[in-house]
Structure 1
């Protein structure tokens, strides 16, 4: 089931009561870490280390045809996306829909999800709790291509994929 956003009054009440868990983060272009696994550029705006484990925030720049595909599941992280540029096909459970700039999508841990770039594009991605952003750095450092070796790395981060038919 896809839910509508909270009312503004409810959202405001939630944000003003939150306690500070980490120091402010300012991520200016050119000052954050960028890693390049496969054909993508991943810009790490905030890491679990910076947010006391609460969040990981990245921007994914991908080419047409890129993306994790229709179904992966994170064991512990909720994941949220905001489309900055381009067009994507999102897969949430059994639903597939097209999303362009300004679209927001969010899933909880354990929910099957994925996306594919229909065009070159950019996504703002938030992981809660943080930590999964390190996956992209490990992927780039190890120079892995998509396939069994990347699947083994995904497994170390608690990501599973359904068996292929």
Structure 2
């Protein structure tokens, strides 16, 4: 399997994009992906912006717990980070691939472009401030989640 990043959002939202590393070659909206701690924190923050019925919290040891607000489902989904601090998140809500069909800001587009171009020459100098910094953050996030697996 060629492991390259995927840009995701929560289906029906304009959150993210979240830089994810697929775990399989097949993809459905409920497929789990790997995310960095920074991306996982952003996912939790974004989920808390809506009344979506799921909320997340990080334990002191770094474990991520997702709780459903439904009384018939009181058990949390517990996600322990892997040895590189990445979180496997999926199956709790549908993902959508982040792209032009998702309403987004220039900042989100710059971040996404940086992530997609993480294996290419850094082009942040071609962008105005603060978009150059968002582009650089996207590149960094892609490098962190992939552990630079695709670097020559």
Common fold: TM-score over 0.5: no
- Larger helix proportion of the pair: 2
- Larger strand proportion of the pair: 1
